Amino acid sequence: MDRKIIHLAVGKPKEYDWNRKKEFSAIGKSFVQVVELKKYGFIGDDVANHKFHGGIDRAVCLYPFEHYSYWEDMFNKKLNPPAFGENITATGMLEEQVYIGDIYRIGETVIQVTQGRVPCATISNYNEEKSFLKKVIETSLTGYFFKVIEEGIINSNSEIELVERDKNQISVFFATKVLFHQKTDKAAIEKILEVEALAEDWRKRFLKLL
């Protein structure tokens, strides 16, 4: 399937009432026609918890649109992007098709894949499905993050163009699966650690597993 932006979104943290508990989250993002991307992320976008979210290595979050029908069938409900709090919902960008270190041009920007997403309970709370987080981890269909190499403007109809493939050919899906489900696979972990563009947080996680 062609690479195409289905939905472009940004949002600031808001207060939610989940399970009778007040929590701040930026998962509820809104559609934008055009937005400027800086090294630290989109203008008008932010995260609630800077310890676990955001930063240079996680400036842009993408979730593959193809997964939406899978989750809708599973939970028997309609899910509208960005149900995962992603900035970009796109086709032709599945976790198994995209390598960590791959470089893409979108609009004026150039961005590089750094890590898969480590989801948290916010996904379950926001979508009102208790088992959502568990299922996302089980399937490793998490979406992923980019760092920004060149800042600029992105439009909701900007083309997504692959500029360079990473020579190590470690897919986001493979790395995520190893992190969640194959924690003792030393050979796989060593292979993943060879990827220069790997986010600092993930480098630490994999070194710890070793």
- Chain segment 72-109, per-residue pLDDT in tens: 999 999 999 999 999 999 999 999 999 999 999 999 99
- pLDDT for the residue 51: 60
- CA gap 150, 108 in Å, rounded: 8
105 Cα distance to chain centroid: 17
Phi, psi of 126 (to 5 degrees): -65, -40
- pLDDT for the residue 11: 92
- pLDDT for the residue 53: 64
Counting the structural domains of the chain, the total is: 1
- Chain segment 36-82, per-residue pLDDT in tens: 999 999 999 876 565 666 689 999 999 999 999 999 999 999 999 99
* Two structure tokens written together for 106: 């979108």
Q: Which of 16-30, 32-46, 124-138 has the lowest mean pLDDT?
A: 16-30
- Chain segment 151-194, per-residue pLDDT in tens: 999 999 999 999 999 999 999 999 999 999 999 999 999 999 99
- CA gap 207, 194 in Å, rounded: 11
- pLDDT for the residue 145: 97
- CA gap 19, 148 in Å, rounded: 36
- pLDDT for the residue 110: 98
Q: Which helix (H) or strand (E) holds 90?
A: strand 88-91
Range of the domain at 14: 4-209
